[in-house]
Structures are given as structure tokens and as C-alpha cells.
Structure 1
Amino acid sequence: MTVTFGDDAEAGRADDAVRALAAEGVPQALAAGDPTLWGEAARAEAAIRLGWLNLPLTSRELLPEIANLVEKARAEGLDHVVLAGMGGSSLAPEVICSTADVPLTVLDTTDPGQVRRALTDRLDRTIVVVASKSGGTIETDSHRRIYEKAFRDAGIDPADRIVVVTDPGSPLEQSAIEAGYQVILADPNVGGRYSALSAFGLVPSALAGADVARLLDDAQAVHDSLAASEGNPGLELGAALGQAALAGRDKLLLDDRLSEINGLPDWIEQLIAESTGKDGKGILPVVGGDPNGAPDEFVAGIGGDGGVRVDGPLGAQFLIWEYATAVAGRLLGIDPFNQPNVAESKQNTAAILEAGFGEEKPVLVDGPVEVYGAVPGEPGDLSDVLTGLLSAVPDHGYLAVLAYLDRWAAFDVAQPEDASLDQLTEAWTARDPATLRALLSTRTDRPVTFGWGPRFLHSTGQYHKGGPQNGVFLQITGAVTDDVEVPGKPYTLGRLQLAQALGDLGALAGRGRPVVRLHLTDRVAGVAHLLAAARIE
């Protein structure tokens, strides 16, 4: 595992920070799990959140149980693995399985279409991992209820198909035991976003076919360096990230185009944004963006060039980025283990579901797109709305696109059997809401981020509300034509999805964050219309 720097000046600044941290005894104290490193206010939280430091060793105790689970699933022909989890419970397994090139269906959404797609795919060969640290995650609870009913309707005992990963003592543990589900307990002293090498990362990945023992081997190989003042990649990376942010370069562009690891920036985004984005401070990870040469940019290359370059296998990458985030938190003077602003959107969602949605009139309708909110300027059409939002981004600010839509709908469109990869890619891109990020990025020198709702609420959502007051937000929702009931609950997935969007919108607006909502009355036509409007300058 190596961390290298793009030029001598960058290396010198990082080296100064490393020497200062070493003089304070930080590497030895952190490796030993000292909870006082982030100040007295953070001590209680840190004391129960440092178990991740030793997961390369302690998680080996899970391997025999996981191996038995995998063997049983294979013997029963269960080759469709569905992971119901949010944030730290889903992002690491997705990276692990994508890198290992093994199939895993991840449900980190409340979109009815996305859930229905998974639900109708090989139900007779499906095993579901329900993963929730707290045991009360509303999205995951909804997925569990929906799959329980689907299995029963198909004459399948849910106890034969559902595996639960949770913390000891959570409400999910007790209800799972009563239902007869296999329960695998995670280390309670590990926070969700630091849980890649815990049961949350290992169980679904092993079921999907990934070599999780090797993942732990690669992490263990770098573990001994964590207490060192020299040759410690975690210390070097953390010093570089923290020092850059303190110098005003707090937009972290993550470039993995030359890496053999697939999707690591999405995991890093959650780890760093939720860990550092609080108290008006923070580092904003930017996934998929190209450098503009702006003074607040800092580029990290995963296997490629940047202000800092990080090379190494996936297991080691997980551990080193976690360590680096903890070090950066100390430099920034924040608690990297709490998430003080995450609960507000959840509370708003619950209130909306209970009280109802009310009536709101759009300020503008442009074809299949309704526009809500305080739109900058006097827009006459959707193109003007987007132009106004871009112009509202302040110096050192950013634009965040937040899409509460079906992440995979663009791939549903039928294509000719003889279509080339380039033709397929072009067709998918033309229907993918995520294309909006790239289109808007060409029209500004400010970072543009893109998040799928509600999954980003468990990651960058903390930064949006607790980080620097310089974000502008574009939220996208869509009409639901084929909803999914949530058994035992008074709401459907579609209503839950909209309540989550409106709940977060309220949290952002309540902090004075500029936020506009676009509602697609026809999702397919609306995405096409939105992308066309974004191309107009």
C-alpha cells in the first residue's frame, strides 16, 4: 500500500503535517484506539467507534460461520443475492462485488420500480441479506416486509431465505430470532461507514462469491503500519487530506479511471462526507468530476495521478481511507464518528407520512417537468431554471443534484441485438438522470455532485446540512405509476420516497440552503426533457 504525491511542493506540505502529527503521538494513539484524539466532546462517541481498527483480525472469527452460510446457499441453488441495506451497509459490498466481478443486487432505495425489478428477478433462487446496524432503518425494514410477503405468496418460508446482519441488542436482532432467520452479529463498536471489513461488508459479498478472506489478508498486511510515524500510508493520506482542507482545498476530486477497483469513490464519498461534514466544516468528495484548476480542488487518484495517489488492493484501501479520515478529522477539529444532522431528514419524513403531503403549486411547468421552490431569477422555462441555479453557486461552493428516481431505469430500454457497446452506452447515457451531472459540469467551474435518493441521505446528506454553507441543491422526483405496498405499514414505497425527498428538502431550506425541486410527471419523457434543457447554454 503506497501513498505518493504529485509534486514536491505537495509532498512537502504533507510531510510537514505528518511530522507534526507524529510529534503529538497521533499514529501510536490512534492505532491503540485512544478516544481522546478528537477532543473531550467527541470522547464518548469515539470510545465506542474505534473497533474498525482491528477488523482485519477480529473479523476472521466470522469466516467459518460465513463459509457455512455460503455452502448452504449453494447447496440450495440460491444464486441471486439481494442486499437490503443503506449507506455503510450497502456501499462497501457493492464495491467488493463489482471489483470481484460477482453479481449482487443492492437495494438501497425506496423507488418502487427499482425494488420491483429486484423482486421479480428469480425469486425462487433468491437469498436476501437484511443489513441494518440500528435495526430500525426505514428503507431496510420496508424491503424486509416486502420480501417476506413475496416469499410467502410464492409458498417459500422466509426463514429459509432471509439472513440478518445487525448489531447485538438491536430490535432487528430480536424480531429476526423470533422469525427464525439466521442472524450474524456485527461488532457494535464499529460505525456504519467504517464497517467495510465487518459482517456488513463480508456476509453479502461472500454469498455473492467474493473472496472475503483475501480482503482481510490485504487489510492485515497494512495493519501493522498504522502505529508507525514513518511508512504509514494512512497517516500520510490523512495528513494530505486534512492539510489540503485547512488550506482551502476542501473539494476532493476522486479519480479512479486507471484503477482495477470498481466504484471505490462512491464508498469514499460516504466515508469522508459524513465523517467530516459538520460544524460548518468538511471535505466534499466529488465523484466523476474533472479538475477545473480551481483553487479549492484537491485531486486524489486511486491507481492514477493526482495531488495524492493511493495504490493498493481493496482490503488495504478500505482500512487506509478509514484511518486517513480519522486523522483528517483531528486536523479539522471535528468528531469523525458522529452524524449530528442526519436525523433531521428522518424526522421530517416521519412527520410528513403522518400528517400528509398537503398541496403545493409549481412555480413553473415546462412539458413533463414541474418546478417547485424559490427559483433564482425569473425563469421562463426549464433551461432558465438550470442556468439560474448554476449562477447561484457561490465562490468556493458547489451544486448537488439529488435524484429520487430509479437508478437502473435507463438500462430497461430494449436495444437491437447487434448493437455495439458504444451504441448501448450512448443509448443508456441519453436516458440516465446521472448524465445531468456531466452536462451541468461543462457549464461551470464549480463542482457538481450527484446522489441517488434516499441513499445519499446516509452519506453526503450529513455534509449538505452540517458542512459549509455554500451548497446549491437541485432535487428531482418522479411520478409513480406502479407502486409497491409496504406490508404492515400505512404507506407505499412511492409515498415513502416522496416523503423522504420533501423531508430532506425541508431540512435544507430550513438552513437557508438554495433548493429547487423538479418533479417529472412522466419519468422517461421528463429525463429526456431535463437532459435536453441542460445542454442549452
Structure 2
Amino acid sequence: MTVEVFPGDAAEAVAEVRARLVADGVPAALAAGSPALWGPAAQPEAEIRLGWLTLPQTSRELLPELAKLVERVRAEGLEHVVLAGMGGSSLAPEVICATEDVPLTVLDTTDPGQVRRALADRLDRTILVVSSKSGGTVETDSHRRIYEQAFRDAGIDPAGRIVVVTDPGSPLEKTATELGYQVFLADPNVGGRYSALSAFGLVPSALAGADVTRLLDDAAAIQPLLGQDEGNPGLELGALLGGMALGGRDKLILRDSLSDINGLPDWIEQLIAESTGKEGKGILPVVGAEAAEAHDQYVVNIGAEGDIRVEGPLGAQFLVWEYATAIAGQVLGIDPFNQPNVAESKENTAKILGSAPEIGAPLLVDGPVEVYGELHGHPKNLADVLTALLQAVPAEGYLAIMAYLDREAAFDAAPLGAGDFEQTAEAWAAADVATLRSLLDYRTTHAVTFGWGPRFLHSTGQYHKGGPQVGVFLQITGAVTDDVAVPGKPYTLGQLQFAQALGDIGALRSRNRPAVRLHLTDREAGVAHLLAVAEEL
């Protein structure tokens, strides 16, 4: 495992911060699990959040039971593994399985279309992993209820098809025990975003076919270095993250380069944004950008390319990035283990679900796109709206695009294998609302991020509210034509998704930041129109 920073401004920032950390004895103290590193106010939280440091050893206790489960699932021909989980409960398994090229269907959404698609895929051969640290995550609870009903309607006993991962004593553990589901209990002293090497990362990945023992072995191999002052990749990376942010370069462009690992930036995004984005401070990870274009940005490559690069196997990467994030928190003077602003959008969502929301009239309508919000000037069309948002981004600011839509809908634009792959990929990109990020990024030097809602609420959502108040926000919602009921609840998935969108944009507007919502009255036509307008800006 290596972290390389070639000579230049970045290397100077790293050297200065690294020297201070070593002088203060931080590397050894963190490796030993000292909860005092982040100050008296953070100590109570840190005392119950440092279990991730020993997961390469303690998680091995799960392996025998997990091996028995995998053997049973294979014997019963259950080949479709579905993971219902949000944030730290889904991002690590997604990376693990993508890297090992084993299939895993991840449900970290409340979009009815995406859930309906998963339900229609081999239900007779499906095993569902319900993963929630708190045991009360509304999205995951909804998925569990929907699958229970679907299994029963198909004459399948859910007790043989649902596996639960949660913390000891959670409401989900109680419910799962009563219903006869197999339960894997995670270490309660590990926060969700630090849980990649815990049961939350290992159980669904092993069921999908990943080699989780090797993952732990690779993490264990790097572990002895984390207490050292020299040759410590976690110290080098943490000094880089903290030192660059202190110097005003707080936009971290994450790039996959020549590496066997797939999708790690998405996991790093949550880890860093939710850990550091608070008290008006923070580091904003940017996934998907080609290069750093402004003075507040820099690029870190996962792999063997670039002036700053982090190389090593996935298990080691998980542990080193966690260690580095904790170090960066210490450098910035914040608690890297709490998330003080995450509950705000959840509370707003609950209020909206309990009453009929007042939407009001749109600011304007441009074809299949309705525009809600306030903007300076008098925009006449969608092009004016996008231009106004780009112009509203302040110095050292960023534009965040947040789409409460089906993140797999673009794949319907062209079937895989029906023609030339390059043409197929182009068809997908032309139908994918995520393409908007690169189109707008091309037209500004400011950082542009993209998040799928409500997935990002468990990730960058903390940074949006608790980090530096320099964000401009573009939210995208869409009409629901084929909704999914949530058994035992007075709302549908579509209603929950819309309430989550309104709840979050309300939290953003309360901070007086520019926030506009685009509502697609026809999703397919709306995405096509939006991308066409953005391309012509």
C-alpha cells in the first residue's frame, strides 16, 4: 500500500502537517485507539466509534457462520443477492462486488421504478440482505416490508430468504428475531461509514461471491504500519487531506485510474464528506471530474497514474482511507465520527409525510420540465435557469446536482449486447440524468457534484448542510406513473421519495443558499430535454 505525492505545493503541505502530527504523537495514539485526539467535546463519541481499527481481526469471528450461510444459499439455488441498505450499509459492498466482478443488486433508493425492477428479477431465486445499523432506516424498512409481501404473495416463506445485519439491541434485531430471520450483529463501536470491514460490508459481499477473507487479510497486512511515524500510508494520506484543506484546497477530485478496484471514489465520498463536513468546515469529494480546474481543487488518483496517487488492494484501501479521514478531522479540529445535520432532512420528511405538502405554482414551465424556486433576474426558460445557477456559485463554492430518480432507468435506452458496445454506452449516457454533471462541469471551473437521492442524504447530505455554506443546489424530481405501496405504512414509495426531496430542499433553503427544483412531468422526455438544453449552453 503506497501513497505518493510528487514534489510541489501538495508535498509541502503534507510535510508541514505530517511533522506536526508526528511531533504530537498522533499516529501511535490513533492506532492505539485514543479517543482524546479530537478534543474533549468529541471524546464521548470517539470512545464508542473506534472499533474499526481492529476489524481486520474481530470480523474474522463472522466467517464460520457466514460460510455456512453461503453454503446453504448455494445449495438452495438462490443466485440473486439483493442488498437493502443506505450509506455505509451499501456503498462498501457495492465496491467490493464491483471489484471482484460478482453480481449484487443494491437497493439504496425509494424510487418505485428501481425497486419494481429488482422485484421482477428472479424473485424465486432471490435472497435479501436487510442492512441497517440503527435498525430504523426508513428506506430499508420499506424495502423489507415490500419484499416480505412479495415473497408471501409468491408462496415463499420470508424466513428462508431474508438475512439481517444490524447492531445489537436495535429495533430491527428484535423484529428479525420475532420473524425467524438469520441475524448478523455488527460491532456497535463502529460508525456506519467506517463499517466496510464489518458485517455490513462482509455479509452481502460474501453472499454475492466475493472473497471476504482476502479483504480482511489485505487490511491486516497494512495494520502494523498505522502506528508508525515513517512508512505510514494512513499518516501520509491524512496529512494530505488535512493540509490541503487548511491551505484552501478543500475540493478533492477523486479519480479511478489504472487500478483493479472499481467504484472506490463513491465510498470515499461518503466517508470524507460526512466525516468532515460540519461546523462550517470540511472537505468536499468530487467524483467524476476529469481534472482540477480551480485553485481550491486537487486530484487524487486511485491507482498508478497522476502526481498524487493511492495504490493498494481494496481491504488495505478501506482501512487507510478510514485512518486518513480520522487524521484529517484532527487536523481540521472537528469530530469525524458524528453527523449533526443528517437528522434535519429526515425530520422534514416525516412532517411532510404527515400532511399534504404545499407545492405552489412553478416559476416557469419549459416543455416536460417544471421549475420551482427563486432565482435572481427573470429566467424565461430552462437555459436561463441553468445559466443563473452556474453564475450563482460563489468563489470557493460548488454546484450540487441531486436527482431523486431511478438511477438504472438509462439502461432501458438500449439493451446490452444488442449492438456495438460504444453505441450502447452512448445511448445510455444520452438517457442518463447523471450526464448533466459533466455537461455543467464543462461550463464552469467550480466543482460540480452529482448525487442520487435519497442515497446522498446518507453521504454528502451532511456536508451540504454542515460544511462551508458556499453550495448552490439543483434538485431533480420526476412524476411517478407506477407506484409501489409500502405494506403497513400509510404512504407509497413515490410519496416517500417526493417527501424526502421536499424535506431536503427545505433544509437547504433554510440556509439561504440558492436551491432550485426541476420536476420532470415525463421522466424520459424530461431527461432528454434537460440534457439537450445543457449541451447548448
TM-score normalised to structure 2 length = 0.99
Gaps of 5+ in 2: none
Q: Is the 2:253–2:300 Cα contact (8 Å) retained in structure 1?
A: yes
- Deviation per residue, 1:415-472 (Å, 9 max, x gap): 4965101100110000000000000011000010000000000000000000001000
Residue matched to 1:188? 188
Alignment CA distance shift 1:157-1:416 (3 Å): closer
Quote the offset at 1:256 in angstroms. Answer: 0.7
Q: Is the 1:246–1:332 Cα contact (8 Å) retained in structure 2?
A: yes
Partner Cα separation in structure 2 for residue 248 and residue 8 of structure 1: 16
Aligned residue for 2:225, secondary structure, equals helix
Residue matched to 2:280? 280
Alignment CA distance shift 1:301-1:357 (3 Å): same
**1:14-53 paired onto structure 2 within 5 Å:** 14-53=14-53
Q: Is the 1:240–1:308 Cα contact (8 Å) retained in structure 2?
A: no
Aligned residue for 1:88, secondary structure, equals helix
One-letter amino acid of the counterpart of residue 119, structure 1: L
Residue matched to 2:87? 87
Quote the offset at 1:414 in angstroms. Answer: 4.1
Residue matched to 1:333? 333
Partner Cα separation in structure 1 for residue 143 and residue 9 of structure 2: 50
Q: Is the 1:376–1:389 Cα contact (8 Å) retained in structure 2?
A: no
- Deviation per residue, 1:252-282 (Å, 9 max, x gap): 0001132221000000000000000000000
Residue matched to 2:318? 318
Residue matched to 2:228? 228
Gaps of 5+ in 1: none
Partner Cα separation in structure 1 for residue 146 and residue 293 of structure 2: 48
Aligned residue for 2:380, secondary structure, equals coil
- Deviation per residue, 1:65-100 (Å, 9 max, x gap): 110110010000000000000000000000000000
Quote the offset at 1:6 in angstroms. Answer: 2.5
One-letter amino acid of the counterpart of residue 279, structure 2: D
**1:350-499 paired onto structure 2 within 5 Å:** 350-415=350-415, 418-499=418-499
Partner Cα separation in structure 2 for residue 22 and residue 30 of structure 1: 11
Q: Is the 2:234–2:323 Cα contact (8 Å) retained in structure 1?
A: yes
Residue matched to 1:171? 171
Q: Is the 1:5–1:307 Cα contact (8 Å) retained in structure 2?
A: yes
Aligned residue for 1:41, secondary structure, equals coil
One-letter amino acid of the counterpart of residue 387, structure 2: T
Partner Cα separation in structure 1 for residue 324 and residue 435 of structure 2: 31
Partner Cα separation in structure 2 for residue 419 and residue 425 of structure 1: 10
Alignment CA distance shift 1:329-1:174 (3 Å): same
- Deviation per residue, 1:309-341 (Å, 9 max, x gap): 100000000000000000000000000000000
Quote the offset at 1:386 in angstroms. Answer: 0.3
Aligned residue for 1:430, secondary structure, equals helix
Partner Cα separation in structure 1 for residue 305 and residue 258 of structure 2: 9
Alignment CA distance shift 1:417-1:26 (3 Å): closer
- Deviation per residue, 1:384-404 (Å, 9 max, x gap): 100000000011100000000
Alignment CA distance shift 1:314-1:244 (3 Å): same
Partner Cα separation in structure 2 for residue 458 and residue 188 of structure 1: 18
Partner Cα separation in structure 2 for residue 109 and residue 5 of structure 1: 37
- Deviation per residue, 1:283-330 (Å, 9 max, x gap): 000001122431111211111434521000000000000000000000
One-letter amino acid of the counterpart of residue 19, structure 2: R
Quote the offset at 1:13 in angstroms. Answer: 2.7
Alignment CA distance shift 1:140-1:416 (3 Å): closer
Q: Is the 2:253–2:292 Cα contact (8 Å) retained in structure 1?
A: no
Partner Cα separation in structure 2 for residue 93 and residue 432 of structure 1: 23
Partner Cα separation in structure 1 for residue 122 and residue 253 of structure 2: 39
Quote the offset at 1:378 in angstroms. Answer: 1.2
Aligned residue for 1:355, secondary structure, equals coil
Aligned residue for 1:74, secondary structure, equals helix
Pick which of 57-66 and 286-295 moved more. 286-295
**1:98-109 paired onto structure 2 within 5 Å:** 98-109=98-109
One-letter amino acid of the counterpart of residue 123, structure 2: L
One-letter amino acid of the counterpart of residue 270, structure 2: Q
Q: Is the 1:436–1:531 Cα contact (8 Å) retained in structure 2?
A: yes
Partner Cα separation in structure 2 for residue 306 and residue 39 of structure 1: 35
Partner Cα separation in structure 2 for residue 373 and residue 361 of structure 1: 10
- Deviation per residue, 1:130-177 (Å, 9 max, x gap): 000000000000000000000000000000000000000000001100
- Deviation per residue, 1:219-241 (Å, 9 max, x gap): 00000111101110001100011
Q: Is the 2:414–2:427 Cα contact (8 Å) retained in structure 1?
A: no
Residue matched to 1:97? 97
Partner Cα separation in structure 1 for residue 142 and residue 92 of structure 2: 21
One-letter amino acid of the counterpart of residue 298, structure 1: Y
Quote the offset at 1:355 in angstroms. Answer: 1.5
One-letter amino acid of the counterpart of residue 363, structure 1: L
Q: Is the 1:6–1:305 Cα contact (8 Å) retained in structure 2?
A: no
One-letter amino acid of the counterpart of residue 261, structure 2: I
Aligned residue for 1:226, secondary structure, equals helix
Quote the offset at 1:182 in angstroms. Answer: 0.2
Q: Is the 1:84–1:130 Cα contact (8 Å) retained in structure 2?
A: yes
Partner Cα separation in structure 2 for residue 375 and residue 217 of structure 1: 53
Partner Cα separation in structure 2 for residue 533 and residue 297 of structure 1: 27
Partner Cα separation in structure 1 for residue 501 and residue 132 of structure 2: 21
* 2:258 counterpart of 1:258: yes
Partner Cα separation in structure 2 for residue 120 and residue 38 of structure 1: 48
Partner Cα separation in structure 2 for residue 279 and residue 237 of structure 1: 22
Partner Cα separation in structure 2 for residue 325 and residue 192 of structure 1: 14
Aligned residue for 2:431, secondary structure, equals coil
Q: Is the 1:371–1:517 Cα contact (8 Å) retained in structure 2?
A: yes
Partner Cα separation in structure 2 for residue 245 and residue 536 of structure 1: 35
Partner Cα separation in structure 2 for residue 120 and residue 415 of structure 1: 17
Residue matched to 2:122? 122
One-letter amino acid of the counterpart of residue 272, structure 2: I
Identity across matched positions, percent: 74
Residue matched to 1:511? 511
Partner Cα separation in structure 2 for residue 359 and residue 501 of structure 1: 12
How many pairs does the alignment contain? 537
One-letter amino acid of the counterpart of residue 411, structure 2: F
TM-score normalised to structure 1 length = 0.99
Pick which of 289-298 and 67-76 moved more. 289-298
Partner Cα separation in structure 2 for residue 507 and residue 244 of structure 1: 29
Residue matched to 1:502? 502
